Structure 1
């Protein structure tokens, strides 16, 4: 089995959305849309394959228009989690219902995400994306982060955080009202390189530390840990996240909220250890199961990954 490595960009994992398991979920979404969005889909009823392709195109549009290499993106990317929650009535249903309503109101014959080839349609796609964001917010699926900056964060970092949050979120003066409590930056743990998110058969969705969720990789992998078969795709949670300042400082590079678990700290600001974290060595073919004993066993520092170089991976978090 080949070595698994990060994706080169934040485009869609096409094979994931076209897999039989996903198509079965898209069929449930199709039924939900026909029941709850009948007015906007009855003239051109979607198929499960068509819905899968539509989601793939939307994620690619996000990458082209709002991704790392986009010039002057008009707003921040939607979290990848909203595309992964495929249960009936879930976040992806909200996304697709908004899209079909918008398509109906604009009297489009079809969706067109070809950036740059149709200037008038491109602007309307931006408007559609904003309406999707509004629908997710109204349904309380996605909440604008409100951050509380702890007094022990240095002034220069505070100023940077305020500048970034000024464009993408809110600052809280009361810790109890915050969605995120911001601590000073901390050193990354030695073996933090990746962690598995979910398994289907021989394939695993792998998340890479200090890269956004849009860069997760879907590929065959035999990992030395027990990978869960289900995942929590909720964007919100009842208690606030405690994260290092780098969770915000890394946002502008990708125009995407970073994964909180990469930056999570305890109440004292100490880096938390994720039970499924993997080193570079763990991702090499033939890695032996560790039974999660590697927290206590000292290993040599992992070498830089040969396929891709991400300068951010060695920095402070």
Structure 2
């Protein structure tokens, strides 16, 4: 059912969420006949066919879109890395100095890094909202432009020191549970203590669960999220309308997808998770979303390497069912 317009910046986003294109079931069924003996690879081929709308799915222009952002929550000591490390990683990826850079080149996968105002970190979400509604909606719109150059398979991922803590806060706001459920495995070191405290403060700042902000996922996104989360959510939405299947690489990308899922579960039906990740918070998030990863490599922060590997798997699936 369509929502009444309020004249606020999120109205356009809500309209997109209310009426996304459906999969091409006939295309998926047509491919099914060619999947005998392919096991899970056949399932991937059917998924590609349904969401590309093609009886012969193909991956000729895959893209890994890496969204980079900074967060003032880092100043609380939630990570051993300084905020400046985000820029360092961005430059390394662009210069071919990271595994994702080399893997993308080897596999002929497009790789784009989007700098989301690294010199203007979002406020510390333990003390203030990350974004106002206009800025959050604008960042989602920016993310939608990631596929402007064309793609037939999109992988979304991130670079952002401290954003694992932000992902924990966002996930807890969406799904509840205890703070420790959403944090990475690890000893009770100073970083873990600061992460836990920061998440608790961010959740407390939202107000009690019955408060309207905790019923509206877009409000949660703008208040305890960040630019890369908003941009990834926008990219996911845009891909749905352009018939582009999406791979989610890492907890930040999956958390961004969880915001859309909380608004309407079918909004992310065109998405698959690239890899299982390497910590219990990520595993819990996948359980909440009932999503199974394509790969079980247990990769940590890899800035898109899992996406490149999953793209290769998808490419193989598409080739395997060609007539």
Question: Which of structures 1 and 2 has the bigger CA Rg?
Answer: 1
TM-score range, shorter chain: under 0.3
TM-score (norm 1): 0.23
TM, length-normalised to structure 2: 0.23
Query: Of the two structures, which has the highest relative contact order with CA contacts closer than 8 Å and spacing of 6 or more?
Result: 2
